Chains A and B, each alone.
Chain A
């Protein structure tokens, strides 16, 4: 009892300290974020009460940007765990200053991913029952959504022990737990969480673009690139905003090299994917290629060119600096976002019956407002938690 009271008092004093140290700029930033969040929540409420009539989705394109966002943020979350692996399995202790930050980033991303699904489903309150009461073990949606809960638990525990390790008196047990959770999170994130997310699409025989055993592999590789780029981007932005050095120039350079490797692997799979489509002889394959290269050219170019430019930047020594990483990671995240939208939403535009009519999908105003609201909520949660939790003490 005394321990709990002491713990609460410690937290109180820490929060008070954080509050006193918070500048006006940060408060203004949070207030600005509250507007899109409130707007998004009002639109979401209308969707729950009245239905998804205002969305751009249809019976022919049943999954829109929200499911693309699910795939994107699950990937970002899975990729963020690589930092833990670098620290604990590869002995790169120079990454320690961003260890806890990366876990928090991953946790916020997986939370955001699940919330995008909640905004997408027709009966969200019933969807909450999925892992516990309603379940179908043959459904990849059930398997992957269950794995998200497991991942959240692992990341929360990892964050807890990492913070304890950063603290003044970490025990041997704390250190051991932080290490093993950091290592365990990587195979779980990549081979359970994100592989099954990729398999959601891979098992669908009806869709030409999805039904390939390479999809889960593609998802894992792009997740590594996206998640690691996300952590790097957050690190650089934090360093620039707070005008302090978080990582050394050598660590930034190493980070750039690792990211370049992930991007190259993703690019290789992107190229082979598109080349197979280009040479396709089936009606659906030819149609898919035409839709991607003619109707949604912008996304196609952003996907390929974004990754190529980012890779070129990171391949040069000059590019692997703070500024170079800022540009390369932004491009990587946008390019992988474009790939996710191409795969998920445009992958459904190929009509199941040819000449049925021209199938189209453009995210509606409602979807954009809800999506931006959710992104703002994720940024807000990250900003507040990054400030409130003692994860900077290690820097």
Chain B
């Protein structure tokens, strides 16, 4: 919701933008437009432009289970998430990364980590699906004790009552301390101005700008309206289950209780709210060609 400004404030704002823009125009004509935008943004932060974020649902704690026995690594969840959340191409990898892993890693039961050079071959950029491999989606775990929220200097990252770890883009200063603290590599920084085609913009999702951090929000604009996340909908094999952990009758609660599962890097005591189910199942390999991997991941070769 946009805050109303008084006439005096509007006049001040226009005067400041004009003066700054004119000054910048004299100094660097090609940059004057960008400079005006910058000044506009500086002024906007003073008013803390607000977008609509629904309040957390009462007596709910969201969580997710990902059945590795069913996931075929087709990357449909990743692509659907990108579109749903208006994630620009400049964000790479997208919120959901998929890793091809050796099944032995998963049978070890706790993590995909192993000692150096023991023959395991985890791959991010696979282009073919293999029946002898497991596929593991990696994303924000919405930890119960999120290190990212603890270290954020401005409380831009916070844990909401319904378990979702949120980011207030109007408070984020882009220091990237949260990215350094996250053990799951789940956060993305806008290294440049994000560009999303007008027809691809989801009006329910706030647009980010360069200099702020973003990540999976468990599709907060859907889940707080009683719907499920987009990745759950997009999964062709129903490998993902999303629900209320506080309800013992919910599907997710029953799965976690009855099936073998693990959470990522449990030793760190961050208590992730995503459980990986490891029971072997007959995997219907519906798609033998996965959607393409990210073309380029900054910092990785």
Instruction: Check B153–A206 contact: CB distance below 8 A.
Output: no
A50 contacts chain B at the CB level, 8 A cutoff = yes
Question: Closest 7 CB pairs between A and B?
Answer: A122-B174, A58-B299, A122-B211, A51-B210, A206-B183, A134-B154, A58-B298
Which residues B160-211 have CB closer than 8 A to chain A? 171-177, 179-185, 187-193, 210-211
Which residues B87-146 have CB closer than 8 A to chain A? 90, 93, 99, 112-116, 120-125, 138
Task: Identify 6 residue pairs between A and B in the complex whose beta-carbon atoms are under 8 Å apart, listed by A's number.
Answer: A49-B37, A59-B297, A63-B176, A204-B147, A281-B115, A360-B299
A90 contacts chain B at the CB level, 8 A cutoff = no
B34 contacts chain A at the CB level, 8 A cutoff = yes
Closest chain A CB from B281 CB (angstroms): 24
Instruction: Check A135–B122 contact: CB distance below 8 A.
Output: no
Interface-lining segment among A2-10, A101-109, A123-131, A310-318: A123-131
- Which chain A residue lies CB-closest to B33? A49
Which residues A41-69 have CB closer than 8 A to chain B? 45, 48-53, 55, 57-63
**B189 touches which of A122, A126, A206 (Cβ 8 Å):** A122
Separation of A59 and B38 alpha carbons in the complex (Å):
24
**Hey, which chain A residues are within 8 Å of B81, CB to CB?**
none
Knowing that A122-B174, A283-B113, A359-B299 touch, tell me 11 more A-B residue pairs with CB under 8 angstroms.
Answer: A51-B190, A58-B297, A60-B299, A122-B211, A123-B211, A126-B173, A127-B173, A135-B153, A139-B150, A139-B153, A358-B300
**Hey, which chain B residues are within 8 Å of A63, CB to CB?**
176, 180
Separation of A138 and B150 alpha carbons in the complex (Å):
6
A188 contacts chain B at the CB level, 8 A cutoff = no
B262 contacts chain A at the CB level, 8 A cutoff = no
Instruction: Check B181–A122 contact: CB distance below 8 A.
Output: no
**Hey, which chain B residues are within 8 Å of A121, CB to CB?**
173-175, 211
B258 contacts chain A at the CB level, 8 A cutoff = no
Separation of A145 and B152 alpha carbons in the complex (Å):
12
**A57 touches which of B121, B122, B299 (Cβ 8 Å):** B299
Instruction: Check A53–B99 contact: CB distance below 8 A.
Output: no
**A51 touches which of B175, B181, B192, B297 (Cβ 8 Å):** B192
- Which chain B residue lies CB-closest to A60? B299
Instruction: Check A59–B35 contact: CB distance below 8 A.
Output: no
Separation of A237 and B119 alpha carbons in the complex (Å):
56
**Hey, which chain B residues are within 8 Å of A200, CB to CB?**
177
Asked whether A356 and B122 contact (CB < 8 A) given A63-B176, A121-B174, the answer is yes
Instruction: Check A358–B301 contact: CB distance below 8 A.
Output: yes
- Which chain B residue lies CB-closest to A356? B124
Separation of A281 and B116 alpha carbons in the complex (Å):
10
Instruction: Check B124–A122 contact: CB distance below 8 A.
Output: no
Separation of A327 and B39 alpha carbons in the complex (Å):
47
The proximity string for A residues 111-155 relative to B, scoring 1 for CB distances below 8 Å and 0 otherwise, is 000000100111111110110001110111110010000000000
Closest chain A CB from B96 CB (angstroms): 14
Q: How large is the interface on B (under 10, 10 to 19, 20 to 34, 35 or more residues)?
A: 35 or more
**Hey, which chain B residues are within 8 Å of A135, CB to CB?**
153-155
A354 contacts chain B at the CB level, 8 A cutoff = yes
A361 contacts chain B at the CB level, 8 A cutoff = yes
Instruction: Check B179–A62 contact: CB distance below 8 A.
Output: yes
The proximity string for B residues 1-15 relative to A, scoring 1 for CB distances below 8 Å and 0 otherwise, is 000000000000000
A353 contacts chain B at the CB level, 8 A cutoff = yes
Separation of A354 and B116 alpha carbons in the complex (Å):
8
A158 contacts chain B at the CB level, 8 A cutoff = no
Asked whether A357 and B300 contact (CB < 8 A) given A48-B38, A123-B212, A286-B116, the answer is yes
Which residues A341-365 have CB closer than 8 A to chain B? 348, 352-361
B280 contacts chain A at the CB level, 8 A cutoff = no
**B38 touches which of A49, A127, A130, A282 (Cβ 8 Å):** A49
A169 contacts chain B at the CB level, 8 A cutoff = no
Instruction: Check B153–A145 contact: CB distance below 8 A.
Output: yes
Instruction: Check B122–A355 contact: CB distance below 8 A.
Output: yes
Separation of A141 and B157 alpha carbons in the complex (Å):
14
**Hey, which chain B residues are within 8 Å of A360, CB to CB?**
299-301
Asked whether A50 and B176 contact (CB < 8 A) given A58-B299, A354-B114, A359-B300, the answer is no
Asked whether A206 and B268 contact (CB < 8 A) given A58-B299, A59-B187, A127-B175, the answer is yes
Closest chain B CB from A376 CB (angstroms): 21
Closest chain B CB from A394 CB (angstroms): 40
- Which chain A residue lies CB-closest to B300? A357
Most buried by B among A53, A63, A126, A127: A126
A287 contacts chain B at the CB level, 8 A cutoff = yes
Instruction: Check A141–B177 contact: CB distance below 8 A.
Output: yes
Instruction: Check B153–A62 contact: CB distance below 8 A.
Output: no
**Hey, which chain A residues are within 8 Å of B172, CB to CB?**
122-123, 126
**Hey, which chain A residues are within 8 Å of B299, CB to CB?**
57-61, 359-361
Instruction: Check A352–B179 contact: CB distance below 8 A.
Output: no
A290 contacts chain B at the CB level, 8 A cutoff = yes
Instruction: Check B180–A348 contact: CB distance below 8 A.
Output: yes
**Hey, which chain B residues are within 8 Å of A356, CB to CB?**
99, 122, 124, 185, 300
Instruction: Check B35–A55 contact: CB distance below 8 A.
Output: no
**Hey, which chain A residues are within 8 Å of B45, CB to CB?**
123, 125-126
Closest chain A CB from B95 CB (angstroms): 11
**A206 touches which of B116, B182, B210 (Cβ 8 Å):** B182
- Which chain A residue lies CB-closest to B168? A134
B151 contacts chain A at the CB level, 8 A cutoff = yes
